[in-house]
Amino acid sequence: MNIENKHILIGITGGIAAYKICELIRKFKKNGADVQVICTPNALNFVTKLTLQNLSQNEVFVDEFHPKHWKPEHISLADWADVMIIAPASANTIGKIAQGIADNLLTSVACAFPKPMIIAPAMNVNMWQNSGVQSNINILKSRGAEILPPESGFLACGYLGRGRLCSIDKIFDCACDILSYSKILSGKKVVITSGGTIEKIDPVRYISNFSSGKMGLALAKCANLMGAEVTLITTKDVDVPFKTIKVQSAKQMLESVNSEFEGADFIIMASAVADYRVKNYSEQKIKKGNDETITLELVKNPDILKEICNKKQESLKNTPIIVGFCAESENLEENAKDKINKKGCDFLIANDISRSDIGFNSDENEVIIFDKSGGKNKLEKSSKTLIARKILEYINH
């Protein structure tokens, strides 16, 4: 992958694996990238500033403010970099970034960094498994950070388990992959729906499904990296650098899709829309009576995918390209072919939710892309980020 003249910002925290980052810097420099390094004060207990300066051929930053420059480093470095890598990332630094604490140069830059960020943790196995650390990791994931989990092995502390910094090649390849995003969607508007809709029964209960919204969010983030003007219509709380519209019900989602329809080049319906809603919503909490059962009368929700496909046909325009999703637990291809014919969308993405490794809430997926002309293309199991990227490249070809 060509990363010549790309700007790589590497943050090193205090951990025994800090010495390994020397090889990472060397690989980036060998491939023509420009590298700048930020160290936490404790990182310099494990690797010297002089070594890092010689390898990067740039000054190494540690202090919050540097008298040589008029512009604060945490802003100028954030503006300069194309991607930021924090490796090894200690539990302490991970917690600070997740909670928005900016008490040194590295955390200040991370707080001000709106572009792709890669975090490669390394720590004791018990620290990694700590619920607080995992909560912070999930916060960073929700904000779009690429987390490269530690690997299992013998640790410097004498423990055996997960906690070793992942391979330098993995960090390098991940950065190259992010930097290789072509701006094929520049000037195009992409509308994406995500998450399972919520249909209220009463003020405390609702009908929904197990959709995590991860696939839709991955599509939105990739489209943004590819230069698109992105609108994410979602039922989930997300922290992203593009337009989002928070909804709950299928009706609200339909209204939002319709409001974004005009001018859209792509509408991707990755959400799991509830087929039914309660006919008579109760303004008060339904009390448990003496009966062993309760009956709820359900009515059909609007078929958002079909309605926007009809809207496209009525507009007599070739845009937007409409992409549906099909989550099936059996007869995947047969049901997908039937659905694309009934709905009238341009593409349909089918995935098997019966598989625990790619089903709801998984970080990986495997899909088949069907098109209205009868063609199909299988994308083998991979991360949802990579699957999202391949879907966007395919529907844009």
Is residue 184 within 8 Å of residue 244, measured between CB atoms? Answer: no
What is the token pair recorded at 231? 């609108």
Measured in whole angstroms, the distance separating CA 99 from the mean position of its chain's CA atoms is 19
Is residue 29 within 8 Å of residue 102, measured between CB atoms? Answer: no
Write down the catalytic residue from 22, 39, 111, 157. 157
Percentages (nearest 5) of helix, strand, coil residues in the chain? 35, 25, 40
Cα separation, 257 vs 262, whole angstroms: 9
Q: Is 277 helix (H, G, I), strand (E, B) or coil?
A: strand
Phi-psi label, residue 263: left if phi above 0, alpha if psi -120 to 50, beta otherwise: left
What are phi and psi for residue 186, nearest 5 degrees?
-60, 135
Query: Kind and range of the H or E element at 189?
Result: strand 189-194
Q: Which residues pair with 352 in a beta bridge?
A: 328
Answer yes or no: 157 catalytic: yes
Query: 380 CB contacts (<8 Å, ≥6 apart)?
Result: 366
The amino acid at residue 264 is: A
Catalytic residues, by residue number, are 157
